[in-house]
Amino acid sequence: MEKTKSTFETLAAINVNEHVEKKNNLTYLSWAWAWHYVKREFPDAQYTIYETADGCPYFTDGKTAWVKTGVTINGQEHIEYLPVMDNYNRSIPLERLTSFDMNKAIQRSLTKACARHGLGLYIYAGEDLPEAMEEAPAAAPEAPKAAPKKKAAKEASRETWVALIAAGKVNKEGITAYDAYIQKFRPTPGELADLEGEVEQYKQEHGIR
């Protein structure tokens, strides 16, 4: 008896290469094609664009903004947070944010939420083909195991992140510490609220405005 494929296995096996575009050395799958494949395989799939309590379709820390979307297939929702960025993947300052920027971020966020279900996930892993189309490479002789290297530096602590966010630090790619934290840890709204509370407390204790 043939095993029924899971949602992830079904979507991860689809080759979407003919529909991807390359911009600034990055590969993108359009929202329209992503949703086309999802609905073709799972007609009951639904998506959600989350809004603030005031009905705003983006969230902000007063400096930049991000969107939150979710895609539900077979009762399982995968949520994606995405900063509102320009063509160089740099966070757009809040005062320069346009409805076009917001809409584009929502579409990209939904496409990545589809990828969490398996569709086009290999694109974000930097690979060329989906798993089902790759040939297994011939087994290579096992190389001698090297002694484990010590970590050059410890991962930034929670306190360090709070300090960086409070100070409004921006990395060389133009991404704020706040956006970098969201991208790295994918916090829930509750966790974000806790973080923002710690940041505000840090600012008060250190006289940061």
Which residue shows structure tokens 């990545």? Answer: 112
Kindly indicate the confidence band of residue 150, based on its pLDDT and cuts at 50, 70 and 90.
very low
Q: What mean pLDDT do residues 58-62 have?
A: 95
**β-strand 46-49 against 26-29: which pairing, if any?**
unpaired
Mean pLDDT of 163-167: 81
pLDDT band at residue 3 using 50, 70 and 90 as cut-offs: confident
Collapse the DSSP code of 29 into the 3-class scheme (helix H, G, I; strand E, B; otherwise coil) and give the result. strand
Length of the chain: 209
The percent of residues above 70 in pLDDT, for the chain, comes to 81
pLDDT of amino acid 159: 79
Joined tokens for residue 209 = 């405005």
User: Which residues are CB-neighbours of 34 under 8 A, at least 6 positions away?
Assistant: 16, 110, 111, 114, 115, 119, 120
Residue 36 has pLDDT above 80, yes or no: yes
List pLDDT tens digits, range 114-139.
999 999 988 877 544 555 655 445 44
- Region of poorest pLDDT, from 11-15, 17-21, 139-143, 203-207: 139-143
Across the range 13-34, mean pLDDT stands at 86
Q: Which tokens go with 131?
A: 């798993």
Whether the per-residue pLDDT at 155 is higher than 50: the answer is no
pLDDT cut 90: percent of the chain above it = 46
Structure confidence by residue, pLDDT tens digits, 64-118:
999 999 999 999 999 999 999 988 888 999 999 999 999 999 999 999 999 999 9
Return the higher-pLDDT residue of 201 and 107: 107
What average pLDDT is seen over the chain? 82
Average the pLDDT over 130-150 and give the result.
53
